[in-house]
Structure 1
Amino acid sequence: MARAQPVIVWFRDDLRLSDHPALHEAASRGVPVVGLYVRDEESRALMPPAVRRLGGATRWWLAQSLRALRKSLEAIGGTLVLRTGPAASVIATLARETDARAVLWNDVAQAPHQAVGRDVEAALATDGIDSQIFAGDLLVDPKVIRNKDNRALRVFTPFWRRVQGLGDPPEPLPPPRKLKSISGVVSEALDDWGLEPTRPDWAGGLRESWTPGEAAAQAQLKAFLDDSISGYAGNRDRPDRDGTSRLSPHLRFGEISPRQVWHAARFVAAEHPRLAGDIDKFLSELGWREFCRHLLFDAPDMADRNLQEQFDAFPWKRDAHALKAWQRGLTGYPIVDAGMRELWHTGVMHNRVRMVVASFLVKHLLIDWRAGEAWFWDTLVDADAGSNPANWQWVAGSGADAAPYFRVFNPILQGEKFDPDGAYVRRWVPELAQLPNDLIHQPWTATPIELASAGIELGKTYPPPIVDHKRGRERALAAYATIRGKD
């Protein structure tokens, strides 16, 4: 009796079983399913713009997420095959090895990923193997929301209004209860991929801070909506409080889908009308992710190119010393340094502080936003190809829906307003922990006696400000004035 021809499900940025359209369809066919993840670091070199190589923190997360996915698949009778090489060649080869009848995958609405997908389709078609592609990355297809010039909307508020006007996205799909598999399919060993650091092993803080995987993502969403959504609209701006959802890296790797988040939040809003304002604010953050992905659909080189061309003439400064001080959290501004140290240790940074540290680099130091974007790309576990460059360009003023050029965050006032008791700074900049609240965000104003009683020696145990705020602001405004009105 001939063996049933299997179906291959190609996992990409969708490392989950639930609300996975391609896997759902494969399971419904009643034939064996081969789960596949391809580490493709070759196809990206063949096309501009390229699929970005993962940074160090996201490589660590990917390793944990693949382990969790394999465990989940095996629990329902499935398997996960790991292969390295150009996706088109790898997938066509596996299809021939297994005599697969079809390959199914969820689309990634980004130009380089879609180009790889087209190559896969072509390679399979040569062998007479069917391909089927599903939407699973976004709430709304980018082709649906366009302006009169058939371009993506560049302002968030009308964009989000359009998304909401379309109504609820489809209900999430359930995970398959049982899969059939086939034996004898060779898989590479995840440990051989070298995704995790060894010498030195800098990932201790990541392991301490996170549990990657679909189960953890679902648990985090439930805990947030049960315990933390009340007051979210205000608490999300306070780095001294546990007020954010912490879902961003799970969304980045597709361990949970946007429509799962949407429907779970809408259910809570229906059950508890008093939370409607907080829910709306939370979903608008999901909307910002969507907005950035739609921008990326139209501008796939957004990490390299200013969306507003007049910024090509901006007089950026080259200052390796200042950049290094910023990266290490040694700028002399406590709220900035706390954020940069939180990033290095945990792989994330509080959303309010991200804006402050980005503004400081771009405006106080006049360092090109691309240098900051590259550092975040390497150190964030939630480094997203859309949100990361879009957010940096928003702060710089070169992007869509950009902040006005004259808005220069005052790191002292930002610290005093959003970390009024200094708890966030004390956690991440412990050398300042003994300073009183009225000095902790500007230690250089303390008297010698106050510094000594707190165990601080400016210039030795903690640096003085790398740039004076007033002078930095004036210099930034002068630099921005040089490009105003340029097209």
Structure 2
Amino acid sequence: MGAASQWWLHHSLQALQSMLREGGANLQLRKGDTLRVLRHVIDSSGAEAVYWNRRYEPAAIEHDKQIEQALLEQDVAVHSYSASLWCEPWRAQTKQGEPYRVFTPFWRHVRPGLRVTSPLPQPAGVNWVQLPVGLPLEALGLLPRIHWDKGLGEAWSPGELGAKEALELFCDDALAEYATARDLPGRHGTSRLSPHLHFGEISPTQVLHALHEHAQRIDTRRRPDIEPYLRELGWREFAYHLLYHFPRTPMECFNPRFADFPWAADDEGQLERWRRGRTGIPLVDAGMRELWHTGWMHNRVRMIVASLLTKNLRQPWLHGARWFWDTLVDADLANNTLGWQWVAGCGADAAPYFRIFNPISQAQKFDPQGVYLRRWLPELAEVPLDLLHEPWKDSSIPKRTGYPLPMLDLASSREQALRVFQAWRR
């Protein structure tokens, strides 16, 4: 688990602890081998059954299977449930009985099966079993030793209540314009529910119910179309579908033809400038600084920073995937893998390698007034709009502001990437 995810987990457990105490219970925190700890808790409590929600990462599946078998051999009942997906990976297959490799037919299969169901009420009158005091939360050592996480605390409220607040804000403020506003990094146009979904603080089924209820309360002439957002959640389902059926993809290209693709030699200097938002390309730098400060990056900007790394710099997509894994609060093995391989052109249903995003035209189109750029690049806050997207056009700006000159020429690096791709393909 990356540093940003560990930060989130600490505060999510803290929020869960508070909610349980309100209901007269204590959150038991233990550390060690999972099966050994579970057996100790079972013996201490006299429990006859263990319940959990299923996970779908390859290592987690194998881990949980082993625990289930061991508990059954101990005559402890085991009950597992689907809580984080609408459609579990093994339930969707083509007419030929194969897993889906393209999103659109996958979504055509899954979408008709979605059912709007009301969440169950919180249980009341539970008789909690008192167990010996467990570890304090701090003993898990999840918080960073270097206090770089101030921005995360300002940007997020981990926990179930934070998830509900984010969902309500999205419904009230952004859902009606989601189809177009989701591409504008300078405004609140997305749900920002991804970390809450990843950590199980809210489920896709709860989100579907909330969106449906919100839409029904609005006059039919102004009723928002919830389908564009549901389709985005469908991509999340597709990512887990792929991870389950193709478990080697977090380390290997989904498209086997890319196994010998001639990526450029590792360049730590270039990588470090990219990581720190010092490339000299404003939209890329703004995205990387947003990531470092908040543990999150707008989805369109994620595609653009990934394109620069894998196409213009021709660095292997795994370098980017690993950095996102460490710095994203919503770091999710399925989504992270799908997203990076999609941009790099080597994934399932991927954008072709020759599709190379131009960060300048993308910024001019989706951040035309420079709201996003000025927010995350304070040294350029006073630069006139006609130079904001290309500050190097005025030689005095880098000297005056300290903002770096571009580390590469976008046009020539694009041409070089295409030449390499064409030669490799031949």
Short-chain TM bin: over 0.9
1:445-460 equivalences in 2 (<5 Å): 445-446=393-394, 448=396, 451=397, 456-457=398-399
Q: Which residue of 2 aligns with 1:414?
A: 362
1:259 is aligned, of 205, 210, 213, to 205
How far did residue 462 of structure 1 move? 1.4
Compare 241-250 and 180-189 and name the one that shifted more: 180-189
Checking the alignment, whether the CA contact within 8 Å between 2:44 and 2:131 is kept in structure 1 is no
AA in 1 matched with 2:412: R
AA in 2 matched with 1:237: D
Q: Which residue of 2 aligns with 1:307?
A: 254
Q: Which residue of 2 aligns with 1:471?
A: 412
How far did residue 86 of structure 1 move? 2.1
Unaligned runs of 5+ in 1: 1-53
SS at match of 2:389: coil
Find out whether 1:238 has 2:149 as its counterpart.
no
Q: Which residue of 2 aligns with 1:384?
A: 332
Checking the alignment, whether the CA contact within 8 Å between 2:174 and 2:181 is kept in structure 1 is no
1:369-390, CA deviations, whole angstroms, 9 ceiling, x for partnerless residues? 0000000000000011110110
AA in 2 matched with 1:183: Q
Checking the alignment, whether the CA contact within 8 Å between 1:92 and 1:123 is kept in structure 2 is no
1:176-206, CA deviations, whole angstroms, 9 ceiling, x for partnerless residues? 23322122323111101110013x2111000
Checking the alignment, whether the CA contact within 8 Å between 1:314 and 1:479 is kept in structure 2 is no
How far did residue 275 of structure 1 move? 5.8
Q: Which residue of 1 aligns with 2:286?
A: 338
Partners in 1 of 2:225 and 2:304 — Cα distance?
23
Partners in 2 of 1:178 and 1:327 — Cα distance?
51
Find out whether 1:145 has 2:86 as its counterpart.
no
1:9-67, CA deviations, whole angstroms, 9 ceiling, x for partnerless residues? xxxxxxxxxxxxxxxxxxxxxxxxxxxxxxxxxxxxxxxxxxxxx10000000000001
Q: Which residue of 2 aligns with 1:158?
A: 105
C-alpha change, 1:295 and 1:83, in structure 2 (3 Å) is: same
Find out whether 1:208 has 2:150 as its counterpart.
no
C-alpha change, 1:302 and 1:432, in structure 2 (3 Å) is: same
Partners in 2 of 1:275 and 1:308 — Cα distance?
43
AA in 2 matched with 1:165: P
How far did residue 154 of structure 1 move? 1.4
Partners in 1 of 2:391 and 2:12 — Cα distance?
42
Q: Which residue of 1 aligns with 2:421?
A: 480
Find out whether 1:405 has 2:367 as its counterpart.
no
Q: Percent identity?
A: 46
Q: Which residue of 2 aligns with 1:50?
A: none
Partners in 2 of 1:183 and 1:210 — Cα distance?
32
Partners in 1 of 2:391 and 2:375 — Cα distance?
16
Partners in 2 of 1:274 and 1:63 — Cα distance?
44
Q: Which residue of 2 aligns with 1:79?
A: 26
How far did residue 472 of structure 1 move? 1.0
Q: Which residue of 1 aligns with 2:403?
A: 462
Partners in 1 of 2:222 and 2:419 — Cα distance?
44
Partners in 2 of 1:167 and 1:258 — Cα distance?
10
AA in 2 matched with 1:475: Q
Checking the alignment, whether the CA contact within 8 Å between 2:175 and 2:224 is kept in structure 1 is no
Q: Which residue of 2 aligns with 1:190?
A: 137
1:229 is aligned, of 171, 175, 179, to 175
How far did residue 78 of structure 1 move? 2.5
How far did residue 276 of structure 1 move? 5.6
Partners in 1 of 2:250 and 2:58 — Cα distance?
13
AA in 1 matched with 2:416: R
Checking the alignment, whether the CA contact within 8 Å between 1:311 and 1:483 is kept in structure 2 is no
1:35-114 equivalences in 2 (<5 Å): 54-114=1-61
How far did residue 274 of structure 1 move? 4.7
1:230-379 equivalences in 2 (<5 Å): 230-272=176-218, 273-274=220-221, 278-317=225-264, 318-379=266-327
Q: Which residue of 1 aligns with 2:78?
A: 131
1:106-156, CA deviations, whole angstroms, 9 ceiling, x for partnerless residues? 111333222111121122123221111111120012111112443321111
Pick the structure with more helix per residue. Answer: 2
AA in 2 matched with 1:215: L
Find out whether 1:437 has 2:385 as its counterpart.
yes
How far did residue 267 of structure 1 move? 2.1
TM-score by length of 2: 0.96
1:193-233, CA deviations, whole angstroms, 9 ceiling, x for partnerless residues? 110013x2111000111110001101110121022212111
Checking the alignment, whether the CA contact within 8 Å between 2:86 and 2:114 is kept in structure 1 is no
Checking the alignment, whether the CA contact within 8 Å between 2:84 and 2:197 is kept in structure 1 is no
Partners in 2 of 1:231 and 1:165 — Cα distance?
24
Q: Which residue of 2 aligns with 1:172?
A: 119
Compare 347-356 and 103-112 and name the one that shifted more: 103-112
SS at match of 1:74: helix
TM-score by length of 1: 0.84
1:158-180, CA deviations, whole angstroms, 9 ceiling, x for partnerless residues? 11111112141654333223322
Partners in 2 of 1:112 and 1:172 — Cα distance?
30
Checking the alignment, whether the CA contact within 8 Å between 1:139 and 1:169 is kept in structure 2 is no
How far did residue 277 of structure 1 move? 5.8
Partners in 1 of 2:69 and 2:107 — Cα distance?
36
Compare 358-367 and 85-94 and name the one that shifted more: 85-94
AA in 1 matched with 2:29: L
Alpha carbon RMSD of aligned pairs, Å? 1.6
Partners in 2 of 1:381 and 1:91 — Cα distance?
28
AA in 1 matched with 2:408: V
Partners in 1 of 2:424 and 2:221 — Cα distance?
47
Partners in 1 of 2:59 and 2:97 — Cα distance?
20
